Structure 1
């Protein structure tokens, strides 16, 4: 007889954790990195976020919906980082004028 499956962990917490890390990373880069170096560091940090999303979803050890969860993590992180960088870009334009 097969044993009943245990209640799986909620995988959305992993997606949310990646989004929070992406948000905090992009804010920290916007505050602490010079304007001319910011885009390069945002690209490097986004690569780290992609690796983090894979690691978090592999840690959950649930094969069902793996691609959807990783895609949700990465796309959400990309959108958050983009919005924060647009905000810092507009702030830089406002200080020039």
Structure 2
């Protein structure tokens, strides 16, 4: 018989931390990477976000829902990076 947790830890903070890290990485890549290499560096940044998602969720020490939390972190990071890279892509085609 399993003993229920008395006060489960909040897990939303770890998920949002990965999203914030993805936003920072996407902005840095958009500002400093050349236009030809931007997509490759965003893929590297997404890989770093995936590793960060695993590390944050493992550090939390809670096994229930681990896969769902890592998936939410990674999917959210993908969406955040996609939206920011869309903004940089649109800014690149608009004439000044």
Establish whether TM, by shorter chain, passes 0.5. Answer: yes
Equivalent pairs counted in the alignment come to 95
- Structure 1, gaps ≥5 residues long: none
Q: Residue 10 of structure 1 aligns to a residue in which SS? A: coil
Distance 2:19 2:75 in 1: 9
If the length of structure 2 is used for normalisation, what is the TM-score? 0.91
Where do 1:60-75 residues align within 5 Å?
60-75=60-75
Bigger proportion of residues as helix:
1
State the Cα distance separating 1:8 from its structure 2 match.
Answer: 2.8
TM-score normalized by structure 1?
Answer: 0.90
Structure 1 residue 4 displacement after superposition: 7.6
Structure 1 residue 87 corresponds to structure 2 residue 93 = no
CA offsets per residue over residues 74-97 of structure 1, 9 Å max, x none?
Answer: 0000000001111100000103x7
RMSD: 1.8
Q: How does 1:1-97 map to 2 (within 5 A)?
A: 5-95=5-95
Instruction: For residues 24-73 of structure 1, give each alpha carbon's deviation from its aligned partner in whole angstroms, at most 9, with x where no partner exists.
Output: 11011101111111111000110010000000000001111101100000
Please list every run of 5 or more consecutive structure 2 residues that lacks an aligned counterpart in the other structure: none
Judging changes above 3 Å, is the alpha-carbon distance between structure 1 residues 4 and 81 closer, same or farther for their aligned structure 2 residues? closer
